[in-house]
């Protein structure tokens, strides 16, 4: 169990970018344009980012030294993707997935 917790940070980019990959593949299989940012298939990428944020928050909570930014990542995901104030399209999803990936690496390297 300790080994799973130690490698939990690597799940964050896999889930975040995995959701984006599922969205792109679903659009291509359906014959739709990937440039259609309002297509409902982009919801898989959005939910991948949200789930990855909760995984990051849990990983940060398990550390001895707490990282406040990583602990608040689920709140950021809910505010960005579920409140409607921001566009939840593919550009925001890629930027958010890259950001929480950097946070996951930072959490593993600095807060060990």
pLDDT at 9: 87
Secondary structure (3-state) at 32 = coil
Q: What separation in angstroms does the CA of 76 have from each of 50, 54, 56, 84, 86?
A: 9, 10, 12, 13, 11
> How high does pLDDT run on average in the chain?
91
- Angle at the Cα of 2 from the Cα atoms of 21 and 48, rounded to 5 degrees: 20
pLDDT at 5 over 80: no
Asked if 88 contacts 46 with a C-beta cutoff of 8 angstroms, the reply is: yes
State the Cα–Cα distance between residues 48 and 56, nearest whole angstrom. 12
pLDDT at 1: 65
Structure confidence by residue, pLDDT tens digits, 13-62: 999 999 999 999 999 999 998 888 889 999 999 999 999 999 999 999 99
- Categorize the per-residue pLDDT at 87 as very low, low, confident or very high, splitting at 50, 70 and 90: confident
Q: How many CB atoms lie within 10 A of CB 60?
A: 24
- Categorize the per-residue pLDDT at 85 as very low, low, confident or very high, splitting at 50, 70 and 90: confident
pTM above 0.85, yes or no: yes
**Structural tokens at position 64:** 């001895």
């Amino acid at each position: 169990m300790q080994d799973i917790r130690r490698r939990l940070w690597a799940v964050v980019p896999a889930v975040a970018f995995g959701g984006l990959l599922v969205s792109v593949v679903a659009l291509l299989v359906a014959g739709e344009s990937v440039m259609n940012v309002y297509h409902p298939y982009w919801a898989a990428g959005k939910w991948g980012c949200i789930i990855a944020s909760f995984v990051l928050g849990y990983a940060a909570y398990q550390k001895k030294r707490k990282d406040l930014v990583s602990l608040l990542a689920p709140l950021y995901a809910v505010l960005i993707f579920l409140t409607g104030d921001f566009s939840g399209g593919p550009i925001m999803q890629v930027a958010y997935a890259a950001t929480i990936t950097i946070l996951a690496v930072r959490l593993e390297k600095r807060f060990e």
